[in-house]
């Protein structure tokens, strides 16, 4: 299988010029620290919250069997989760399911269920979705690592009431499957008392690092995505990033370039801009990974640092006509990552125009892919010309192997970046604080003191 490539050439002084690019001595000066950071991550593999490094080698047998056993049984799969319990599945679905999958006839979907992902508590959206689903033929996959997150639990309670009304209390458990911590949390308890099938999210895997666990893989298996391909791609990337040294290591290079751009050149904003509609939600997943892992108040020594790069989502070519003006001429505080694709599944030729449209003759005879590639190249060039840096990750094609590798690459890069910034990349105290405040406002027992703080 071909591997993805990472090109950092347009971050270097030679490409962007003057004092605004990375000089060879800057790269050389970081190499030892980069290797130390990578070694620290590798040494901790599987321990603490680094359980995500074990995921590529997991046995997906039980979830594949569950999916096979239930193939053809459900018309719809409703995933209820938020943050890391939803973003990876959304990215997977957009990348690997056919476009407009939910509109296909059952035979065109291989009798696999339509996929809906509820990651918000907007009442209009929730009610509209539940009204639309044929609940008697729906499987609801509730996903929550903690098993307590208010939004997901509220979604569960609302969906459960509707399901019970539609199928009755006895059949309820036939329409539920939970993905949660192996032992802890309210969801685990509910599942055990109702006899709901449950899949484990291993204790050492945090939400935003969980896409290659049952969190992403169960919906993937149920909708017929290539689970084995995803894991093979992730395994290959795990081997690559464990073996390659210094700047030849794609995860180290990604982390190192972003770290230097931020700390040495004042470019704190990391824009991810895929030139593939299939990868548009990969940027949402990445935004959470990069932001929640690296945005921290204190460093490992407890010093107040209020550090962290700012991830921004964009899409080529669409955002060339929306955000690019800012990137080329606005504040020089960004580094762009282009996600390119070597080969698209479909060739769409642009027809030669008739005599009435001779001004468009330059387009005729090309393909849409050629236009997309030209747009990506010209955007990268225009940025360099203005002294703005960019990196390019190119996937040979968008398939399960490439996706598995890309997820793992960015997770590894995030872990290495955490070492460089000297922060805990695996906690999220800011998010937890917000969760606790919500519990207090909603009257959860045990949070009365916080409720008084908010009121007072």
Please give the residue ranges that form the binding site for ligand PA5 (CB under 6 A). 82-85, 144-146, 149, 152, 206-208, 292, 428, 431
Question: Do the beta carbons of residue 351 and residue 364 sit within 8 Å?
Answer: yes
Q: Shortest distance, CB of residue 209 to ligand PA5, whole angstroms? A: 7
CB of 121 to ligand PA5, least distance (A): 13
Cα of 332 vs its chain's centroid, Å: 26
Q: Is 321 a catalytic residue?
A: yes
Can you tell me the distance from the alpha carbon of 127 to that of 114, in angstroms, rounded to the nearest whole number? Answer: 18
User: Nearest residue by C-beta to ligand PA5?
Assistant: 207
Q: Which two tokens stand for residue 14?
A: 């030679």
Least distance from C-beta 214 to ligand PA5, angstroms?
12
For ligand PA5, give the closer residue by CB, 185 or 316: 185
CA–CA distances in Å: residue 317 to residues 320, 371, 386: 5, 10, 19
Half-sphere exposure of 156 (CA within 13 A, CB side): 25
8 Å CB contact between 16 and 388: yes
| 341, containing H or E segment | strand 334-341
Closer of 84 and 340 to ligand PA5 (Cβ): 84
Active-site pick, 292, 313, 334, 411: 292
* Nearer Cβ to ligand PA5 (85/213): 85
Residue 140 pairs with which residues in a beta bridge?
A: 78, 176
Our CB check for ligand PA5 shows the closer of 210 and 261 to be 210
| Smallest separation (angstroms) from ligand PA5 to the CB of 179 | 9
Residue closer to ligand PA5 by CB (options 145, 313) is 145
Active site residue 281: no
Backbone angles phi, psi at 62, to 5 degrees: -60, -40
CA-closest candidate to residue 7, choices 412, 337, 401: 337
Residue number, 167 or 203, with CB nearest to ligand PA5: 203
Among residues 35, 174, 375, 435, the one annotated as catalytic is 435
Residue with smaller CB distance to ligand PA5, 62 or 150: 150
What token pair was written down for 39? Answer: 């070694």
In angstroms, give the least distance from the CB of 145 to ligand PA5.
4
* Helical (H) or strand (E) element with 243: helix 227-243
Helix axes 282-294, 400-421, angle to 10 degrees: 20
Q: How far is the CB of 286 from ligand PA5 (least distance, A)?
A: 13
Upper half-sphere CA count for residue 24 (Cβ side, 13 Å): 1
User: Which of these is catalytic: 25, 105, 321, 356?
Assistant: 321
Half-sphere exposure of 248 (CA within 13 A, CB side): 5
Using a 10 angstrom Cβ sphere, with 0-12 exposed, 13-18 middle and 19 or more buried, the burial of residue 306 is exposed
The β-bridge relationship of strands 390-395 and 5-7 is antiparallel
| Shortest Å, Cβ 147 to ligand PA5 | 7
> 319: burial class by Cβ within 10 Å (0-12, 13-18, 19+)?
middle
Residues with catalytic roles: 292, 321, 435
């Amino acid at each position: 299988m071909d591997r993805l490539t990472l090109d950092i050439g347009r971050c270097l002084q030679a490409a962007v010029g003057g004092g605004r690019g990375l000089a060879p001595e800057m790269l050389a000066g970081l190499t030892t620290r980069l290797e130390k950071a990578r070694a620290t991550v590798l040494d901790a593999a599987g321990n603490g919250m680094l359980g995500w490094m074990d995921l590529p080698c997991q046995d997906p047998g039980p979830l594949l069997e569950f999916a096979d056993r239930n193939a053809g049984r459900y018309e719809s799969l409703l995933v209820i989760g938020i943050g890391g319990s939803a973003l990876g599945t959304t990215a997977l679905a957009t990348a690997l399911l056919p476009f407009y999958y939910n509109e296909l006839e059952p035979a065109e979907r291989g009798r696999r269920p339509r996929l809906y992902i509820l990651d918000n508590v907007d009442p209009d959206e929730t009610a509209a979705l539940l009204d639309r689903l044929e609940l008697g033929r729906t499987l609801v996959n509730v996903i929550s690592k903690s098993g307590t997150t208010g939004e997901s639990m509220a979604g569960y309670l609302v969906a459960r009431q509707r399901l019970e009304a539609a199928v009755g209390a006895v059949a309820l458990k036939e329409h539920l499957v939970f993905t949660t911590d192996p032992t802890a949390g309210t969801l685990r308890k509910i599942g055990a008392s109702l006899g709901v099938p449950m899949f484990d999210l291993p204790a050492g895997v945090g939400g935003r690092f969980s896409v290659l666990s049952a969190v992403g893989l169960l919906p993937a298996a149920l909708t017929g995505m290539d689970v084995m391909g995803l894991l093979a791609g992730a395994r290959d990337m795990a081997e690559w990033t464990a073996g390659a040294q210094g700047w030849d290591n794609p995860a180290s290079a990604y982390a190192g370039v972003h770290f230097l751009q931020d700390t040495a050149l004042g470019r704190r904003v990391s824009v991810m801009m895929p030139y593939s509609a299939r990868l548009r939600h990969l940027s949402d997943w990445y935004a959470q990974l990069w932001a929640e892992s690296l945005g921290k108040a204190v460093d490992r020594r407890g010093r107040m640092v209020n550090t962290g790069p700012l991830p921004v989502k964009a899409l080529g070519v669409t955002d060339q006509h929306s955000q690019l003006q800012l990137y080329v001429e606005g504040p020089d505080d960004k580094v762009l990552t282009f996600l390119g694709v070597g080969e698209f599944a479909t060739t769409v030729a642009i027809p030669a125009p008739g005599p009435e449209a001779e001004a468009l003759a330059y387009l005729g005879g090309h393909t849409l892919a050629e236009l997309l590639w030209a747009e990506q190249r010209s955007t990268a060039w225009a940025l360099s010309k203005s002294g703005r840096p960019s990196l390019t990750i190119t996937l040979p094609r968008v398939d399960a192997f490439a996706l598995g590798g890309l997820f793992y690459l960015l997770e590894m890069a995030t872990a290495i970046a955490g070492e460089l910034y000297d922060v805990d990349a695996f906690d999220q105290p800011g998010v937890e604080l917000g969760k606790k405040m919500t519990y207090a406002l909603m009257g959860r027992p045990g949070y009365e003191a916080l409720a008084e703080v908010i009121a007072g």
